[in-house]
Structure 1
Amino acid sequence: MSVDHKALETEALESLDPMSEVPKLQGLLGRLIGWVDTAFVTLAVLALVTLSVTVLLQVVARLFLPFSLSWTEELSRYLFIYMVALSAGAVLRRNRNVSVELFHHLLGMRAKAAVQAVICLAIGIFAYLVLPYAWQYAQNGAWQTSPTLRIPMLYIFFSTVVAFALLLVYSVLGVIEGVMAVLRPSTAEQES
């Protein structure tokens, strides 16, 4: 893909998302967050690929083998759960949540940043309140194992802890970026 084509694609995607104008953290911290994003997105993609292979294996086994593989449905369910949990933070950071954008395109950059900060604050408060209960829920699985794979359900239920912890961390980042963008002097103020 050429550089010009990639730049046009990025510009088109950003024009579809009015909240993308809010600047992200830069420097060493921004790069570190980018690496963490990449790690979690890579894990989520690996879960998706493994999920696809598992479902394909299940279909092939049902069509061509005299027996079905009972563990494939269970594994695909757990992979789907972890795929969602691992990608929750990156989805929030990239403003890819399902949202209603009735007025965002009418707002200036500071107003968009303020909206982002408020939304991330609400999500962060919710994640903070739910996180202890997610941990209690995960601990309930310590005494159970999955029916077919015999995996301790603690590992499966722990996906709720992962999801809410990532949402909490990424919502704090969203609030920080939103507040910094609101407080940043405008270009007109910098020129005078």
Structure 2
Amino acid sequence: MKQLTHLFGLGANAVAATMLAAIFVTFLIQIAARYVLTEFGIQLELGWTIELNLTLWLWLVLFSCAFVLKERDHVKFDLIYSHAGPARKRVFAVVSALCIVVALVAAMPDTWDYVSFYKIKKSPTLRIRLNYIFVIYLVFAGVLILRYGWRVIDVIRGRDLSQDERDILAD
């Protein structure tokens, strides 16, 4: 199982890196068209590059947050948490994870409706159905529901705390 998780992580990193590379290449195409080709009198309409970059950026951020970043990589506001005792830290971890799960589960029906509604619209330049563009949010929300649901179970069982949290709890 650990090897499968490692391979999945490598695959997710490769997908994220590919999206970032595509953003970079598209950006270079924009720069070349605007500053190099115009010097030779060539005018190209490259509105598709902006739309592609925006779509890739949306996918990159949400995909990476769901599949690439680990718990310790996420931004946390832990001013109170870091000063609490071990028992309270566990309570904070469970309550915060439950809040995330409940909020995302509560929002899921409306999110599904929103994404489904966009099957009737297409992006202006690339003509991609907008539900294909926004479906990544459903994936992101679903993965976060599973991850934080699992976190609740692990914290209640006393497992799966990050090394930083284990060190803090040991104090």
Q: Structure 2 length as normaliser, TM-score?
A: 0.76
Q: Is the 8 A contact 2:66 2:144 kept in 1?
A: yes
Query: Aligned partners of 2:5 and 2:96: how far apart in 1?
Result: 20
User: CA-to-partner distance for each residue in 1:100-138, whole Å, 9 max, x for gaps?
Assistant: 221333345554343222211111111111122221111
* Structure 2 residue 23 is the aligned partner of structure 1 residue 54: no
Work out whether 1:96 is the aligned partner of 2:60.
no
2:3 and 2:155 mapped to 1: Cα distance? 18
Q: Is the 8 A contact 2:93 2:152 kept in 1?
A: yes
1:76 pairs with 53, 63, 66, which one?
53
Q: Following the alignment from structure 2 to structure 1, what is the Cα–Cα distance between the partners of residues 145 and 16?
A: 18
Instruction: Mark the CA change 1:143 to 1:124 in structure 2 (over 3 Å): closer, same or farther.
Output: same
Q: How many residues align?
A: 154
Distance 2:100 2:28 in 1: 36
3-state DSSP class of the match of 1:150?
coil
- The gaps in structure 2 that reach 5 residues or longer are 160-171
Q: In the alignment, which residue of structure 2 is the partner of 1:166?
A: 143
Rounded to whole Å, the distance in 2 between the matches of 1:174 and 1:166 is 12
Counting only pairs closer than 5 Å after superposition, residues 1-192 of structure 1 correspond to structure 2 as: 28=1, 32-65=4-37, 66=42, 67-90=44-67, 93-181=70-158
Q: Per-residue displacement from partner, 1:77-118 (whole Å, max 9, x unpaired)?
A: 000111122122347742333222213333455543432222
Q: State how far apart, in whole Å, the 2-side matches of 1:154 and 1:50 are.
A: 21
Amino acid at match of 2:14: T
Determine helix, strand or coil for the equivalent of 2:73.
Answer: coil
* CA positional deviation for 1:167: 1.3
How far the C-alpha of 1:63 sits from its partner, in A, is: 0.9
Q: Measured at CA, do residues 48 and 116 of structure 1 come closer, stay the same or move farther in structure 2, by a change above 3 Å?
A: farther
Alpha-carbon distance, 1:33 to partner: 4.5
Q: Normalising by structure 1, what TM-score?
A: 0.69
Percent identity, please: 28
Q: Distance in 2 between matches of 1:111 and 1:88?
A: 27
Which amino acid letter does the alignment assign opposite residue 46 of structure 1? T
CA distance in 2, matches of 1:37, 1:118: 27
